[in-house]
Amino acid sequence: MNLVIRRAEARDVPRMLELVRELALFEKEPEAVTVTEGEMRDAGFGPRPVWFGWVAEERSRESTESNESTESAEPGAPSGLLGMAVCYERYSTWRGRCLYLEDIVVTEAARGRRVGERLFKACAAFALDQGHHHMLWQVLDWNTEAMRFYVRLGATFDPKWVNGRMTREDIERLVGNGG
């Protein structure tokens, strides 16, 4: 088998959503995933996409040799997505464009095969190519394996910034639409 890292396509969304659910289960929040397949597809491939990403696809050698380009897969369903990385662009008034890595997920069965590293490097190469000043992402404070992974790749963690968040209900209350 051969691992190919390629840009995500609309046909990948069902498996990508499965990977998101696998991540949510790992992060002990399986019921927190509320996005539908249609919403995810529209947000990535609809008229106003807000995310883009890469997938790690395991293919047989025969299909890889018959398809010389490793950037796009053959028509039809992917043969086996083992991981994904989803990103979007952010803007810093101090630094300019930056790449935000929303999620990088590798299915448990494929961990230890450097799938995550290859996905991360695809994101990093894109950031360089697009002239982004830096990359950002979050890691749960108890996920020491993920922290070690990022540190091994040369990342640092910023202890000064605290994440802020408002739910939709909080926003509705704030603007007076909540009742």
Token pair 């450097």 is found at 114
Pick from 132, 117, 95, 170: nearest CA to 3: 117
Residue 107 tokens read as 């299915």
What phi and psi values does residue 10 have, to the nearest 5 degrees?
Answer: -55, -35
Query: Per the structure block, which two tokens stand in for 144?
Result: 């020491």
| Both structure tokens of 132 | 């982004």
The rounded Cα 40 to chain-centroid distance in angstroms is 12
135 φ, ψ (degrees, to nearest 5): -115, 150
- The residues that are catalytic are 150
